[in-house]
Structure 1
């Protein structure tokens, strides 16, 4: 049964009691009108409702008695309404039909889907040629009502678009990893087909259409069992490329493409990175243990950032992780949003061009609260004694560089100043200030090198990266904050 039939039938039955009456969402007719203009206006009015509406044929007016429809009438009504919805209305309407038996009488239900780009209006006319439902009747919309519909209307996001042709229920489950999805959400797998479909629909993974289903882009990109089976998404799979040295000219060790959707394959990707990245030995409870020289928290946050903040509208491009001997580069298609500045990425409010995908990652506990990602990365970068994180805007991409551990004495002047700035930002968002002492702790150096840190702070001030919190304070106990604070 088509997904909307049960709801439509219940709405219709409610119009029969206690007295026959029509509603804004449902109008019944004995037969199709010969007045095409008026029919067009009815279709427009239903399309301008938030959730669309229904026309029911085979019901006598005005008493609501059921008289039924013939096969010939069904064909004629269907053809005429379909043609009007396609040719006379802008944007073209999506109509679905079903013959439903009610009290031993066959009725034709026509479902007019709510228009996403409101207002629906007469083709070739201005948007003021729009109609709405009011008081169970159809009337022309006022200018204010047209304006309100425009405000409430929005273009569909990339994640909401369809990534597959029309599928059966079994085909959907063959493509989407329902088990992993439920595991990530910490929910049991629904126990019936209807419950599964309602669950997937609520999660924006599928779109219901008549007797079949479309998988959305976010459903495919996040939960595909094999992303290569989604023709429109296969080029967006993440790739991990390992190089022999410190640049591309050194040659590659291997290139491994992601096989699953971003969420379905996330843990596997992190496990792979931990396996192939350089390790160091540590002693825990008298036992030697190999651990990655790159903190796992940083890997998780930077991979998630590249996946979530890429520009998904760029065709034929996906995120790339380049692994060199001395660093990892996380590259995603698309530049920073115009409202973002490279210097202000740490700790500021998150803003994503892919809000649905970002919300899925939070729901799946891959990401945590908004805006905390880079702040957490900087924290573990300091804890592990790594050089500062690097941010680079490329021609049509964005790159974040995570360096391998490096002693203070081996860092360049540029790295030291940038590390000082990032430490000042971290301290500022923790309600504290940068001092000579906190910066020595960050670089893991001793009191003997206080003068070196004093000189570094002076250099960072001179370059405009930090400033004194209180210009009147003495040098010995001076506190510093980011230049923009």
Structure 2
């Protein structure tokens, strides 16, 4: 959907249909708000059932002859009580209703088009009642149990990524909204010489879709990955990556803030570079060579950022992934709860609620779908003797997950909880590598000047007491004791 659609061309294409269908309706001057609300519900649910990205209602076209006759309907002037029609409709429809009005002059006559996106996640209801189109009639969905079953079957099989973010576009208009050269660059493939060839590849990966009427739609997947500007796509505009740097350890004073306008594939590298630039680094002289040491491993930054983008719940409205840089940590927050237990991130098989997004991000070489991302994050932090990253899940408003990379602190300055979690994740990494944790390996994990053997023994006993690790053989002598995660 989008107001930059050629309305005149769209209307002419819709008029080519022999009769009203379940996804097209023609009106003259009917401006009844209740009628419009019911039609939005019916058209959205019918489009979902038929697998069509966008349905339409057109004022100014005769429903029998399909002649353009013009209309006196002006949606901007219509009100329900003291509220503008469009706002009132949003309040009466369920939160997954996505629609847009547009106006133009066609054949020297005023025409208004209502573009309605297909229902996703659940049915689109008006005043808590779902409607459906049966032929050219609008009916309550519950009165047609077979059709209702078909709608819900389509909803359960559909995914947010495949839904049209903006439809009714000519191919040049669709391509103009996307940084499609980036797509071929990231795949290491040569750029096709014609638009039709470009469209062939983008359609194969569901970046764009060819509609039945010959126009094109950019999918949510295409928009969120390759949009030149996410604000061009209302369904994903709030999913833009945001980067914020604060002064000190709290959020009371913002030093800088940046909202990345482009899609994730377009902005990923620049976002990583900016995060690394905002975190402290130092230069050491090793031999005759200057070596720059960063506060956080770039490998961990890349992995956590990619995971935050891929594993977010795209259906949670009003929020997107956020990176916050503090003096002592970097927080990565994404909307949606975790699909796996946060304490089992190392060994669990890979799972993603956004399969197409994850697949393309892997092909773009931003991540792997092997379930080894957390292993690499832990290992890279251990290599710099950093505290173990923190993973926290928050409830409310769809939930969210926050991963925190912590800056280096000496062992004596670490909290007991941080010490215990470092012990736990070290045991996990050893286990996945086919090894076992020992007193010596844990001492090495904390680096030179770290805890003594007796101090580590006490730490191991605490981790055992907390139910995080267990000895392989409880009867062996203390100096030969080996440990694995409690779940092993």
TM-score by length of 1: 0.70
Q: 2:301 corresponds to which residue?
A: 299
Structure 1 stretch displaced more, 395-404 or 224-233: 224-233
Q: Deviations over 1:57-113 (max 9, x none)?
A: xxxxxxxxxxxxxxxxxx9994347369989998464799xxxxxxxxxxxxxxxxx
Distance 1:319 1:259 in 2: 13
SS at match of 1:265: helix
Is 1:82 aligned to 2:21, yes or no? yes
Q: 1:219 corresponds to which residue?
A: 222
Distance 2:428 2:484 in 1: 7
Q: 2:102 corresponds to which residue?
A: none
Q: Deviations over 1:159-213 (max 9, x none)?
A: 1111113212222221111111111111111122221111110011001012311
Q: 1:32 corresponds to which residue?
A: none
Distance 2:16 2:257 in 1: 57
* Deviation for aligned residue 1:128: 9.0
* Deviation for aligned residue 1:474: 1.5
Change (3 A) 1:332 1:448: closer
Q: 1:248 corresponds to which residue?
A: 251
Distance 1:128 1:257 in 2: 43
Change (3 A) 1:334 1:282: same
Is 1:398 aligned to 2:389, yes or no? no
Q: Deviations over 1:196-243 (max 9, x none)?
A: 111110011001012311000010001112222223322111111111
Q: Deviations over 1:380-417 (max 9, x none)?
A: 01001101110111122110110011121221111111
Change (3 A) 1:325 1:392: same
Q: 2:322 corresponds to which residue?
A: 320
TM-score by length of 2: 0.70
Q: Which has the larger radius of gyration?
A: 1
Gaps of 5+ in 1: 1-74, 97-115, 131-145
Q: 2:374 corresponds to which residue?
A: 374
Q: Deviations over 1:267-297 (max 9, x none)?
A: 1111111212111212356232433211000
From 181, 184, 209, the counterpart of 1:182: 184
Q: State how many pairs are aligned.
A: 372
SS at match of 2:316: coil
Change (3 A) 1:76 1:352: closer
* Deviation for aligned residue 1:349: 1.0
Distance 2:465 2:163 in 1: 50
Instruction: Give yes or no for contact 2:278–2:325 (8 Å, CA) kept in 1.
Output: no
Q: 1:364 corresponds to which residue?
A: 364
Q: 2:345 corresponds to which residue?
A: 345
Matches within 5 A, 1:265-280: 265-280=267-282
Distance 1:242 1:322 in 2: 6
Gaps of 5+ in 2: 1-13, 26-38, 55-119, 123-132, 136-140
Instruction: Give yes or no for contact 1:121–1:129 (8 Å, CA) kept in 2.
Output: no
Instruction: Give yes or no for contact 2:22–2:134 (8 Å, CA) kept in 1.
Output: no
Q: 2:312 corresponds to which residue?
A: 310
Q: Deviations over 1:2-34 (max 9, x none)?
A: xxxxxxxxxxxxxxxxxxxxxxxxxxxxxxxxx
Distance 1:182 1:407 in 2: 46
Matches within 5 A, 1:32-431: 78-80=17-19, 82=21, 91=46, 93=50, 124-127=143-146, 154-209=156-211, 210-249=213-252, 251-284=253-286, 286-337=288-339, 340-395=340-395, 396-431=399-434
Distance 1:332 1:424 in 2: 27
Q: 1:141 corresponds to which residue?
A: none
Instruction: Give yes or no for contact 1:238–1:319 (8 Å, CA) kept in 2.
Output: yes
Instruction: Give yes or no for contact 1:440–1:446 (8 Å, CA) kept in 2.
Output: no
* Deviation for aligned residue 1:334: 1.3
Matches within 5 A, 1:5-44: none
Distance 2:148 2:376 in 1: 53
Distance 2:441 2:177 in 1: 52
Change (3 A) 1:126 1:83: closer
Distance 2:235 2:450 in 1: 58
Change (3 A) 1:125 1:267: same
Q: 2:138 corresponds to which residue?
A: none
- What's the RMSD between the two structures over aligned residues? 3.2
Instruction: Give yes or no for contact 2:313–2:335 (8 Å, CA) kept in 1.
Output: yes
Is 1:483 aligned to 2:486, yes or no? yes
Q: 1:459 corresponds to which residue?
A: 462
Instruction: Give yes or no for contact 1:362–1:369 (8 Å, CA) kept in 2.
Output: yes
SS at match of 1:290: strand
